[in-house]
Structure 1
Amino acid sequence: MAKKIYLASPFFDEEQIDRVSRAESALAKNETASSVFSPREHQHEEFEMFSHEWRIATYNGDVDAINDADIMVAVIDYVGQEVDPGTAWEFGYAVANNIPVIVVKEKEGAVNLMMGIPLTAYLTSVDDLATYNFDAVTEIPFTGEIF
């Protein structure tokens, strides 16, 4: 049975927007993904961005979507060794709630211990999301450098 996916990813610059857009497209092609919630596409435009109402709606909407998800896909391409704090929080929340996390990291380099150990599968290209079997949830451990 196809799974509901939550896509955690930064989208603050052109490179990040390109990467999450490619991830959204790849997931849309995947027959084992019944739906995808990408926070980038749920910005609560009914409220002024960064207003109190927008903040509450965004937080609650994202938490509800994670709670509703069967699986999280987390894009963790770092800037230096710094992961986006929102993505890190979403990742930790999913792990704490026993939601499998499929990590995508296209950039070379080490992975933070707190993400490298609890992840379910480690992919190095968003293109792999088009064919990953979310029904089987095959484990692919991270075996590279940890910091």
Structure 2
Amino acid sequence: MGETRWLDDDEMRAWEGFLAAGALLNRRIEQQLKEEAGLSHAQYEILVRLERAPGGELRMTELADALLTSKSGLTYQVTQLEKAGLVRRRACPTDVRGIFAVLTEEGRRTLHSAAPGHVALVRRLLIDHLTRDQLAVLADGLGAVGRRLRDDAGE
């Protein structure tokens, strides 16, 4: 297997910073969305993806892929959104196994109501603490990691 390449001080600092920032950001975002909109972060992201999609709908498999979640996890979240009247499902007319998640008007209103507070929090906790150069480096670096992980998962 070879010798372990231990993390040096800078690498460890980056790793620990990534872990702490991710956990703390996620906790605060979950809290804010639950309190202000009655949504989980996953549910908010589902509404965002559906609003961006043509016709406000996506196949469940495409939605799971876009959100980097399991089909069962997505099914649970969509069921909760469906119970709240924010999303509905419809069968695919060309594939009996295909199901679409469709954003309802109530879902669109809920998203538009939740978005300003969510964006303000993301700005306050992350974006406004970084320079434009830092944002570019962060986006490039995490984008490269994400692409690599997606490529590795496709093998």
User: Which protein has the bigger strand share?
Assistant: 1
Provide the TM-score with structure 2 as the length reference: 0.27
Structure of higher RCO (CA pairs closer than 8 Å, 6+ residues apart): 1
User: Which protein has the bigger helix share?
Assistant: 2
Provide the TM-score with structure 1 as the length reference: 0.28
Higher alpha-carbon Rg: 2
